Amino acid sequence: MRTNKKHLFGGLTLLAVAGFALAGCAGGSAGTSESTMAPETSTAAPMPSETMDAASDLVGAGCADYAAMVPSGAGSVEGMSLDPVATAASNNPLLTTLVAAVSGQLNPDVNLVDTLNGSQFTVFAPVDEAFGKIDAATIDSLKTDSAALTKILTYHVVPGQIAPDAIDGTHTTVEGQDVTVTGSGDNIMVNDAKVICGGVKTKNATVYLIDSVLMPPM
């Protein structure tokens, strides 16, 4: 068993508002040269190593189904590896409710986008069906209870990236309390939530899709 005891920089109380559509466009003008250029040979550019290795450490019985559902594009396993975690999550069709919760759409006073995109994390990401297990009254209360929503969301985040071969153990979350991960391969549990597909890499985080929302001890 391994224990991860790290502290997040600063605090999470004053969070800058940012949208999930963070991609910027950079343009440049092509210059011309008076000298004669040697003929260029067209060669395929090597793929970034993070893209080539994006699926190398995946664990969980749902990984194959997800790859079949989203085989390419920004929401694919390879595509997510190119973006910071909040941006990558916004491209994942299974994480629309989580995206709304962390981006200020559920509660305008809770926006964790800049924080999530700004450092190295392990993120336990509840899929949309996980939020469906929570009663509607609780969801409604989180629209105005910023402290409770922040507590729940940060309980899903551990400072530093943890690979599947090191995830088994107790880890201190950004919220301050521990989560316990048990099992391996296709049978990994985070507290009482089952990992659907884990070891999903983003530019700055390792993500584990889970089937239930983690509720921090009160």
Alpha carbon 115 to chain centroid, angstroms: 12
Beta carbons within 8 Å of 5's beta carbon, 6+ residues apart:
172
Amino acid making up residue 51: T
CB atoms within 10 A of CB 10: 9
pLDDT of 55: 81
Beta carbons within 8 Å of 214's beta carbon, 6+ residues apart:
124, 126, 152, 155, 156, 179, 190, 191, 193
Alpha carbon 69 to chain centroid, angstroms: 18
The answer to whether residue 100 scores a pLDDT higher than 70 is yes
Ranges of H-type helices in 14-62: 49-52
Residue 162: Cβ-neighbour burial (10 angstroms; 0-12, 13-18, 19+): buried
Ranges of H-type helices in 55-169: 63-69, 77-80, 85-90, 96-102, 113-117, 128-131, 136-142, 146-154
d(CA 85, CA 31) in angstroms, rounded, equals 36
The answer to whether residue 144 sits within a structural domain is yes
The answer to whether residue 31 sits within a structural domain is no
**Segment 41-70, tens digit of pLDDT:** 334 444 444 445 778 889 999 999 999 999
The answer to whether residue 64 sits within a structural domain is yes
The answer to whether residue 152 sits within a structural domain is yes
The answer to whether residue 193 sits within a structural domain is yes
d(CA 76, CA 153) in angstroms, rounded, equals 23
Q: Are 181 and 168 in contact (CB under 8 A)?
A: yes
Which among 2, 53, 5, 1 is positioned nearest to 160, based on CA atoms?
5
pLDDT of 20: 33
Give me the mean pLDDT over the 9-37 stretch. Answer: 35
Structure confidence at residue 32 as a pLDDT band (50, 70, 90): very low
**Segment 186-204, tens digit of pLDDT:** 999 999 999 999 999 999 9
The answer to whether residue 30 sits within a structural domain is no
pLDDT of 39: 38
CATH at 121: 2.30.180.10
pLDDT of 14: 32
d(CA 59, CA 89) in angstroms, rounded, equals 18
Which of 53-62, 176-185, 205-214 shows the lowest mean pLDDT across its residues? 53-62
Number of domains in the chain: 1
The answer to whether residue 215 sits within a structural domain is no
Domain range for 123 is 51-210
pTM above 0.85, yes or no: no
Question: Of 23 and 66, which is predicted with more confidence?
Answer: 66
Average pLDDT, the chain: 83
β-strands 205-210, 121-126: how paired?
Answer: parallel
The answer to whether residue 22 sits within a structural domain is no
Structure confidence at residue 15 as a pLDDT band (50, 70, 90): very low
Give me the mean pLDDT over the 163-185 stretch. Answer: 98
d(CA 6, CA 207) in angstroms, rounded, equals 17
- For 33, left (φ over 0), alpha (ψ -120 to 50), or beta? beta
Question: Of 212 and 22, which is predicted with more confidence?
Answer: 212
pLDDT of 218: 81
**Segment 104-156, tens digit of pLDDT:** 999 999 999 999 999 999 999 999 999 999 999 999 999 999 999 999 999 99
